[in-house]
């Protein structure tokens, strides 16, 4: 059977000895190696941070305001109209 080479990246972590001992103990209690424990604990948090970074949560009042502005946009300012006209002449 052919083997597929999997390239793994490495992360070096500077940590105080007592923190490492705590992580090692927690990993052992979960019957995981240290890497497995850290990844199982940290990856869900990382996914959550990345997912929420692109999300804006609005209050009900702000949601209604945004919807109203989308349905009834204000008239463009003089500067915006001038910029739009100038953009039309760009190659």
pLDDT recorded at residue 5: 62
Across the chain, which has 91 residues, the per-10-residue mean pLDDT values are: 68 93 97 95 95 90 96 94 89 75
Written as six digits, the tokens of 51 are 């997912």
Give the alpha-carbon dihedral of 51, 53, 54, 56, to 10 degrees.
110
Residue 32 burial (C-beta neighbours within 10 Å; 0-12, 13-18, 19+)? middle
Return d(Cα 18, Cα 26) in angstroms, integer. Answer: 12
pLDDT recorded at residue 14: 92
Taking the domains of the chain in order of start, what are their residue ranges? 17-88
pTM beyond 0.75, yes or no: no
pLDDT recorded at residue 11: 86
pLDDT recorded at residue 3: 61
pLDDT recorded at residue 90: 79
pLDDT recorded at residue 60: 96
């Amino acid at each position: 059977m052919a083997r597929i080479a999997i390239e793994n990246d490495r992360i070096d972590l500077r940590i105080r000895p007592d923190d490492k001992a705590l992580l090692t103990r927690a990993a052992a209690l979960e019957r995981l190696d240290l890497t497995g424990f850290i990844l199982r604990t940290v990856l869900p948090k990382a996914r959550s941070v990345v997912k929420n970074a692109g999300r804006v949560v609005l209050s009900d009042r702000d949601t209604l305001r945004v919807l109203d502005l989308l349905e009834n946009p204000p008239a463009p300012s003089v500067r915006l109209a001038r910029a739009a006209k100038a953009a039309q002449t760009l190659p």
